[in-house]
Structure 1
């Protein structure tokens, strides 16, 4: 025979348990029923998604997750994931006042005229990557020169850690600078990886890169 709880036991606060939001999502969706390629299903709840979809940054795993819109919104306040996941925003901003010397660029060891940098919170520092035919390649040189650039640029200081990046293209007379969602940088990496040919890349890939930056510029005006 089950005994009824006493008033004291009812009044006693229950210990708080940390909820795994991913496990909760899969309770409602029944788990992963059908394995699809990344980008074809939400990597949180496994529902099918289209080619245009949102992303979450897995801060600890250093990767991007493709998500449906409801899962994206679930993590938009940051509290649900205890800092593990962060939503990738969709804002684009150009930085026409960006200033960087050729010497500062050279000390970062970027061998091509394209690079993106973002603040990686779990390492408490900026990291720099450049697109290559083999995928995103990290520059392992000292980024003290970049810290100097950020210190003198208010817009760069507003960059959201882990989910926004500074996208740079070196030109003959300076630099083109944009603040973009981190997934836009990996879109550029995909263009280079897919269309690069030979040593210099070929005319096709550079036309696609030009078109990519033109679209970024247009979105920054919106």
Structure 2
């Protein structure tokens, strides 16, 4: 790899690591609600859950927003529009809280790598727009950013699934390996996508996220 490619890899590894202080461990993206409603009950169900989210759900939407944010090249007006759209697309109060909280925390922590883009972003910035805008400003390749973001999203979800008792760590690692081709394909699709390609078909997942807000006993904030 060239020095620039190595730098990009290191930054993506830092920004999307579970250790980066965004608090992603506190959210399940509606998965806990799906487990409560018995829509997801085991490792096979968890694989199906992420297959659908990558192809037709929230992870696809995030990927398109991230792609558009990288291409915005620090344009404040464009980034504000994308932020407003990203927040409007959140299907429940808790999903809105999740993307907004992660976005704010990411921008706070990522300022360890100073860049003018932080002044171009609105205060209320959803997570994929925040990551995309900063990655674009830092010269990180679009496909690298998309693949890393999607892998991190699935990895965080698998971790939530393990804590919810859907599978063990070995099965979780096997699941990540099995989803690699789909993550790569989704990243490739999103790299050429625009806002006209936004859209989801995950009604049950959206309902599970809404029902999660009323659960009495739970581990996660979404």
Query: Higher relative contact order at CA 8 Å, sep ≥6: structure 1 or structure 2?
Result: 2
* Bigger share in helix: 2
Report the TM range for the smaller structure's normalisation. Answer: under 0.3
* Bigger share in strand: 1
TM-score by length of 1: 0.25
